[in-house]
Structure 1
């Protein structure tokens, strides 16, 4: 079992709270993590001596937190399968998800998902296989997906998820030439009253949703767009692009038409910029365009020239 991701070290500075519990809250420990630390076998050492939550700290003190071990859920069965690892350390695992595989098991559907395969991967590495999904992608969207390796890392990532410290960029190929060529789509998204699994623009009950887009390449009757998510709604890019009259090629759910050129929506999470919540280093992560979207791009270019 990999223990390194269960140990956190801090040195107390001028701006730190001088009580162990308050210090931990200041460092983004959630109430459930404090509960687990206290009641499920976590340990706190100050200058190599075991201490409790009410211990008084002073500048220069070294505090060592050993997080409680986590029991993986039985709901997600480990499965073998390829895992395309883009980045990994003791806290974070970022993988490149292929199209056609769900992120998490749905209640009605069994079968292989990224969560099952990542659990199998962690077990093979003799690491704690508890699954903490930070970002998910639709079954037919490909690209970068983030898992945390501990609940503490998960909560730190959750707290920056919709901030400039966690930037998500996508590439999409859409019907038509988008005008203006770049801009902000700011339209509230709600659940479609006619189909619970779909989303639509809903000015009454919808949640604020914002997507920045920029045209990367124009084709005769299509566009390659780069998109940045400012919020994280279900199907956000798919609904927003449909709303401005340029649905994603292959997205039959929202475009209402089947496209012979690609058998899924041409949408790929190709870039993440994450300020690592523990090391504070900027991670610039990329996943190359998958084959089916590369093929579609060359078909669109050919249509332009042909």
Structure 2
């Protein structure tokens, strides 16, 4: 049994004493409680097996063994290089290179980060069900978060767009933003002419991106961006709408750039309050070489 299926609690005087109510207060959903009861989960209080309606006392030790998860075969394990930035019993954070999709398409033939992560988890004899918490476009590099079980995934989803889960990006853009820092608050919808594109649409979903200029160059600049919402292509669409698309983003800038073969966008920092241990994680991924070379060219 893998470690990530175990959750341990010590019952305090102010905690709910009925196990079901206690776990609900710990953000177990009703479906997770049903799975715990009906799909092989186990509950122990002071090393004795108990049911969800058992009443605990202050000082009791509660051990929850989560239901076993059966991985879907839609994602095949595939060997590949994995740059692990952080890992514990509940989370896996990796640095994705550009040119690699987050999830496989229906064709299921190409290698993606999820295929590589599944292979890695199987090799380490862990639950290999893929719980992708954050995804990146194929040609965006940087930090991606995977949960190691459905409960942790659920907890992360609850904080994904809060101050407990902050995502920061670096982007090299054409031109310079005025003012040099601010908030882009423009709704995003699906482009009516191409389902795979997004555009600014007053009937679209609310979308907010904070930005700050880090460096200005003659014809470009380096921005630090923080996502306040999580729409598809959000940063790319927002910057394009402001008249300053990302260098190399042919899809939204409508121009090729010989200095880089993809959009110069990198998820470089995550600040996460760990959903289980409540530790503050401050994780960073180094800027990839193609963006380093582009920045040098812009400085030159």
TM-score using structure 2 length: 0.98
1:273 corresponds to = 271
**Distance (whole Å) between structure 1 residues aligned to residue 44 and residue 176 of structure 2:** 61
**Distance (whole Å) between structure 1 residues aligned to residue 253 and residue 131 of structure 2:** 33
2:230 corresponds to = 232
CA contact (8 A) 2:74 2:108 kept: no
Match of 1:174, SS state, is strand
**Distance (whole Å) between structure 1 residues aligned to residue 75 and residue 168 of structure 2:** 28
The answer to which of 84-93 and 60-69 deviates more is: 60-69
**Distance (whole Å) between structure 2 residues aligned to residue 180 and residue 108 of structure 1:** 45
- 1:96 equivalent to 2:95? Answer yes
1:138 corresponds to = 137
**Distance (whole Å) between structure 2 residues aligned to residue 65 and residue 23 of structure 1:** 12
Return the match for 1:208 from 206, 209, 215.
206
Return the match for 1:248 from 246, 249, 266.
246
Cα deviation for residue 14 of structure 1 reads 2.8
**Distance (whole Å) between structure 1 residues aligned to residue 47 and residue 117 of structure 2:** 35
Cα deviation for residue 15 of structure 1 reads 2.7
Question: What are the ranges of 5 or more consecutive residues in structure 1 without an aligned counterpart?
Answer: none
2:120 corresponds to = 121
- 1:220 equivalent to 2:221? Answer no
**Distance (whole Å) between structure 2 residues aligned to residue 57 and residue 81 of structure 1:** 47
Return the match for 2:298 from 297, 300, 303.
300
Match of 1:139, SS state, is coil
1:170 corresponds to = 169
2:8 corresponds to = 9
**Distance (whole Å) between structure 2 residues aligned to residue 15 and residue 197 of structure 1:** 50
Encode CA deviations 1:66-123: one digit per residue, 9 max, x unaligned.
1111111111000000000000000000000000000001124630000000111111
**Distance (whole Å) between structure 2 residues aligned to residue 102 and residue 31 of structure 1:** 33
**Distance (whole Å) between structure 1 residues aligned to residue 64 and residue 37 of structure 2:** 11
2:30 corresponds to = 31
**Distance (whole Å) between structure 1 residues aligned to residue 16 and residue 29 of structure 2:** 16
Equivalent residues in 2 for 1:174-213 (5 A)?
Answer: 174-204=173-203, 206-213=204-211
Encode CA deviations 1:166-212: one digit per residue, 9 max, x unaligned.
000000000001111000001111111111101111112x1111100
Return the match for 1:258 from 251, 256, 259.
256
Ranges of 4+ aligned residues in structure 1 off by more than 2 Å? none
Query: What RMSD, in angstroms, separates the aligned Cα atoms of the two structures?
Result: 1.0
**Distance (whole Å) between structure 2 residues aligned to residue 96 and residue 236 of structure 1:** 20
**Distance (whole Å) between structure 2 residues aligned to residue 16 and residue 247 of structure 1:** 51
Aligned length: 300
Question: What are the ranges of 5 or more consecutive residues in structure 2 without an aligned counterpart?
Answer: none
TM-score using structure 1 length: 0.96
CA contact (8 A) 2:100 2:139 kept: yes
**Distance (whole Å) between structure 1 residues aligned to residue 104 and residue 3 of structure 2:** 29
